[in-house]
Structure 1
Amino acid sequence: MNEPFNILFLCAGNSSRSILAEALTTTLSHGRFIAFSAGAKPTGTVHPLAIELIKPTGYPIQLLRSKSWDEFGRESAPAMNFVITLCESALGEHCPYWRGHPATAHWGFPDPAADDSKTRDEMLHSFKQVEKGLHDRIALLMDLPLEKLDRSTIRERLQNIHHRLKYS
């Protein structure tokens, strides 16, 4: 078996979207990917509804934590094959240097935890929508023949995955 691919998911707070992406990618890929998540301005906590949705995947909940993307800009950080931003604010930030010269893409999703005036059921619905969107994109990512593609083609395909699903 080839070495697993490292993928980093970024959003501003690293409490919901990127956390869901980390858990989904790692569990759905069955060892093909090792996913990480981080934020430009981490909240320091993982949203309870994200944890609730991740538990059934079997991903170890104790590994989840809200962390700064600075951890992945260090020389000791794992080299990344892919970096995917999940929110507009992370996309606009000046990112650290990522080891591994990763292919990058943007899969924008609204923050399911942004409106605290929503009821729990409304928020859960928002979280489930983001989870489904991530799941669908990750499933398509898993189907790519990544070992046979160059970085430029991978970047294009990653972006196409999002656009294809966003407008379908």
Structure 2
Amino acid sequence: MHPCRVLFICTGNSARSILSEATLNRLGKGRFEAYSAGSHPTGRVNPHALNQLVSTGISTDNLSSKSWDRFVGDDTPPLDIVITVCDSAASEPCPVLFGDFVRSHWGLPDPAGVTGDSAAIAAAFEHAHALITYRILALLKLPVEAMSKVELQQALDHIGTITDDDAEHV
């Protein structure tokens, strides 16, 4: 079986989806293959996201802000899971992608929207990355290779509800 292919999408593909892609590729290496994209990509990865990844020892090589159009052609690898990471609680529009894969939503506040001094911005990126990491650790515990699409959907949706308070139990 090929590695489980996961696409993280949001609007700009500059922070949350990038953090998710890089973290899953690091922690799930060999078992998972992660990508990220945006419905309206900014065209550049947020430098604070890159700093956050570097500070935790995760490679930033080959990360780029790109359109989800890259993942809809016949020459693209088939996706197994698509996870939106936009913050619907903040009325941020979540992209919709169609295909034969399991979809889930792991809403996260956008750390790129935080204003203030550099310490406040760095803290927002650190917090977002910690929550992403908790959720990815929960994903890694799933026997995705043996789960039905319905079981996987339910498990992923549950992971998307993990908050800071739940994270210590992951």
Q: Same fold (TM over 0.5)?
A: yes
**Alpha-carbon displacement from aligned partner over 1:26-50 (angstroms, at most 9, x marks no partner):** 0001211110000011000101111
| Mapped partners of 1:7, 1:31: distance in 2 | 13
Aligned residues: 161
Secondary structure of the residue that 2:41 maps to in structure 1?
coil
Secondary structure of the residue that 1:139 maps to in structure 2?
helix
TM-aligned CA deviation for residue 166 of structure 1: 6.1
| Percentage of matched positions with identical amino acids | 34
**Alpha-carbon displacement from aligned partner over 1:89-125 (angstroms, at most 9, x marks no partner):** 352x3x3433xx111100000110113x311110110
Give the match for residue 25 of structure 1.
Answer: 24
| Mapped partners of 1:69, 1:164: distance in 2 | 26
1:57 and 2:41 correspond? no
Secondary structure of the residue that 2:160 maps to in structure 1?
helix
Give the match for residue 83 of structure 1.
Answer: 82
Give the match for residue 10 of structure 1.
Answer: 9
Give the match for residue 148 of structure 2.
Answer: 150
What stretches of structure 2 of length at least 5 have no aligned partner? none
Moved beyond 6 Å, runs of 4+: none
Secondary structure of the residue that 2:163 maps to in structure 1?
helix
TM-aligned CA deviation for residue 76 of structure 1: 1.2
Match of 1:126 among 124, 127, 147: 124
| Mapped partners of 1:90, 1:65: distance in 2 | 21
TM-aligned CA deviation for residue 151 of structure 1: 0.6
| Mapped partners of 2:61, 2:150: distance in 1 | 35
TM-aligned CA deviation for residue 152 of structure 1: 1.1
Paired amino acid for 1:4: P
**Alpha-carbon displacement from aligned partner over 1:43-101 (angstroms, at most 9, x marks no partner):** 00101111112224342x2301000111111111111000000003352x3x3433xx1
What stretches of structure 1 of length at least 5 have no aligned partner? none
TM-score after normalising by structure 1: 0.89
